Structure 1
Amino acid sequence: NPFSVPTSTPIELVDNDQLEAVQEQFRTGAMSLGWDPTTAQVVIEAHPITDVDADDNDESLDEDGANAPEMLLVRMPVGTARAFAKRTREIVGAGRPTCSLCGYPVDADGHICTLPEV
């Protein structure tokens, strides 16, 4: 049944490969997570960080959406979303330790602690 939600991560979707370095395309600002019941897919929208217009004028978009800001749209079946979430939890859980003094992550190259002034 393509519309059933698996109770565990399907074995064929488990990804334990080494992570590769990636080149940043944009930094994500606002994100949304949704569900499309017509396709039984998880939908993720990621909008880049943008500067807010100081004058906040109401320029209308072109009819073809030419002035619309970029957005990353990801649609994935439930099993894929479950595998992605599992892998993400593992990666974040294995992340950098935090400094006991300032609470910021400690890099592999060392850490210069910037304690808040009291």
Structure 2
Amino acid sequence: MPTRVHEFAWPDRVVIGTVGLPGARTFYLQVRTGKQIVSIALEKQQSAELAGKIDEILDQLIALEGNPFSIPTGTPIELVDNDPLEAVEEQFRTGAMTLGWDPTTAQVIIEAYPLSDVDADDDDDPVDGNDAEVAEMLLVRMPVGTARAFAKRTREVVGAGRPACPLCGSPVDPDGHVCTLPEV
């Protein structure tokens, strides 16, 4: 089965956003170019890691002598996007992701693949090579300023969840919290 690639070479918008209340939020990576829009679900931790790794790549590129790719140290104000997600129609739930850099276009590249449907109980069944193929994937190429703005917004969205208990660090629910302090 051929892989369906949702490709965005120079997206108009690429953001992480959520649907739901803190403690029960679903995170989405949403990309739009013109009328083409794709939303993929991912975990909070995946979102946080993605933002951190994008900043890490950009910071390493800044350290190159002369900053040959004109990487911004902060988020360009004109690229700040605090708008909510557009209509969300989940394309797939993200499993594996890769992150890369294309020096020919000075773009950060994100590849996202669906969560595998392989069930551990099916170990007795022979695996057909065609079934192991990924049915679809998301490919996003972001210019450096957009990537910096994406990482900043993602950190803010991840941090906007339930507050942490100052004593134990666990999330505090709106209904209360039972603190589980470590024994001394």
Using the size of structure 1 for normalisation, the TM-score is 0.67
Q: Quote the Cα distance in structure 2 between the aligned partners of 1:54 and 1:72.
A: 28
Q: Deviations over 1:83-118 (max 9, x none)?
A: 0000010111111346899x5784x6x69x9xxxxx
The answer for the alignment partner of 1:34 in structure 2 is 100
Q: Quote the Cα distance in structure 2 between the aligned partners of 1:105 and 1:44.
A: 33
The answer for the alignment partner of 2:70 in structure 1 is 4
Judging changes above 3 Å, is the alpha-carbon distance between structure 1 residues 79 and 50 closer, same or farther for their aligned structure 2 residues?
A: same
Q: Quote the Cα distance in structure 2 between the aligned partners of 1:59 and 1:40.
A: 39
Once the 2 structures are TM-superposed, how far is the Cα of residue 81 of structure 1 from its aligned partner? 0.4
Matches within 5 A, 1:65-76: 68-76=134-142
Q: Quote the Cα distance in structure 2 between the aligned partners of 1:76 and 1:104.
A: 33
Q: Deviations over 1:8-30 (max 9, x none)?
A: 11111011224456232210000
The answer for the alignment partner of 1:92 in structure 2 is 158
- Which of 126, 144, 152 is the aligned partner of 1:78? 144
Matches within 5 A, 1:20-59: 22-52=88-118, 54=123
Matches within 5 A, 1:14-25: 14-19=80-85, 22-25=88-91
Structure 2: any 5+ residue segments left out of the alignment? 1-67, 179-184
Amino acid at match of 1:27: R
3-state SS, counterpart of residue 84 of structure 1: helix
Q: Quote the Cα distance in structure 1 between the aligned partners of 2:125 and 2:113.
A: 19
Q: Quote the Cα distance in structure 1 between the aligned partners of 2:84 and 2:117.
A: 35
Once the 2 structures are TM-superposed, how far is the Cα of residue 32 of structure 1 from its aligned partner? 0.7
Once the 2 structures are TM-superposed, how far is the Cα of residue 68 of structure 1 from its aligned partner? 4.9
Structure 1: any 5+ residue segments left out of the alignment? 62-66, 114-118
Q: Decide which structure has greater strand share.
A: 2
Q: Decide which structure has greater helix share.
A: 2
How well do the aligned residues superpose, as a CA RMSD in angstroms?
A: 3.3
Higher RCO by CA contacts (8 Å cutoff, separation 6 or greater): 2
Amino acid at match of 1:10: P
The answer for the alignment partner of 2:32 in structure 1 is none
Structure with higher Rg: it is: 1
